A = this chain, B = another copy of it.
Amino acid sequence: MKRNYKMTISYDGTRFYGWERQPGNDMTIQGKIENVLTKMCQLPEGKSVQVIGAGRTDAGVHARAMTCNAVIDTDKTEEEIWKYMNEYLPDDISVNEVRACSDRFHSRYNAIGKTYRYTCWYGLSKPVFDRKYVTVLEQKPDTELMRQAAQILEGTHDFKSFCGNSKMKKSTVRCVDTINIEESGNYIRLYFHGNGFLQNMVRILTGTLLEVGYGNIPVADVQKILDAMSRQAAGPTAPAQGLCLMKVDY
């Protein structure tokens, strides 16, 4: 029977060229999932299952709970689909839930919020066991300055200065309702919650906040960066490996 299924997926993005399917590139997460579902449904040559993701993560970015959906024609139960997918997907992609859902459910259009986490690490030792999921900082930034800057960035703004796509034609206004900076041992974790994020936006926000923490950008300049509406005004794009999509709200 043909039904719409909602799935939540974890992945270690290290080996992949991002979420989005690319022609001729086998190493995308969407591509891997579509291939497994297409195989499961034994579709005729040339036909394939289309998976809709809540958003696109960049190459090297991880996810604890990406949400996606796909219309699948199968006799399998939810649990059987779940087992099949995990059996055939590689070790660095896990399906955590499969649920039949309304035909109208659309992972991207229905998403009302997302949480991203950016993990930094500093110190004389090295983060051996999660080295692929953190960005190592040369020194400890001043997190109090970072929090002051984060307060300026919170809220509804035109985030054009924080958009990695210079040809973006649609609105670059987004609402980032919270940016929380948590410290634990040698870790500094930045949590971003908002209604949507532009390309590279969390990484550019993080790169800018770190520059503030290092004293290279004064807190007072953060409003000017927003006002500049230019990518050149903001700080660097923080490396992909520290970023993880934590949750999509519906």
Taking Cβ atoms with an 8 Å cutoff, the residues of A that contact B are: 10-12, 62, 64, 79, 82-83, 86, 89, 91-96, 124-131, 133
Nearest CB of chain B from residue A92's CB, rounded to whole Å: 6
What are 25 A-B interface contacts by the 8 Å CB criterion? A10-B125, A10-B126, A10-B128, A12-B128, A12-B131, A62-B129, A79-B124, A83-B124, A86-B124, A86-B125, A86-B126, A89-B126, A91-B128, A91-B131, A92-B128, A92-B131, A93-B126, A93-B128, A94-B125, A94-B126, A94-B127, A94-B128, A95-B125, A96-B125, A129-B133
Known contacts A83-B124, A91-B128, A96-B125; 17 additional CB pairs below 8 A are A10-B125, A10-B126, A10-B128, A12-B129, A62-B129, A64-B129, A79-B124, A86-B124, A86-B125, A91-B126, A91-B131, A92-B131, A93-B128, A94-B126, A94-B127, A129-B130, A129-B133
A83 / chain B contacts, CB cutoff of 8 Å: 124
- Complex Cα distance A130/B125, Å? 20
- Complex Cα distance A218/B24, Å? 54
A94 / chain B contacts, CB cutoff of 8 Å: 125-128
- Complex Cα distance A222/B154, Å? 60
The answer to whether A128 touches B11 (Cβ under 8 A) is yes
The answer to whether A10 touches B95 (Cβ under 8 A) is no
The answer to whether A129 touches B10 (Cβ under 8 A) is yes
- Complex Cα distance A92/B94, Å? 24
A10 / chain B contacts, CB cutoff of 8 Å: 125-126, 128-129
Per a CB cutoff under 8 Å, which of B11, B82, B92, B126 touches A124? Answer: B82
A82 / chain B contacts, CB cutoff of 8 Å: 124
Nearest CB of chain B from residue A44's CB, rounded to whole Å: 29
Nearest CB of chain B from residue A80's CB, rounded to whole Å: 11
- Complex Cα distance A93/B125, Å? 9
- Complex Cα distance A128/B92, Å? 5
- Complex Cα distance A94/B123, Å? 11
- Complex Cα distance A79/B124, Å? 9
A91 / chain B contacts, CB cutoff of 8 Å: 126, 128, 131
- Complex Cα distance A37/B100, Å? 59
- Complex Cα distance A82/B123, Å? 11
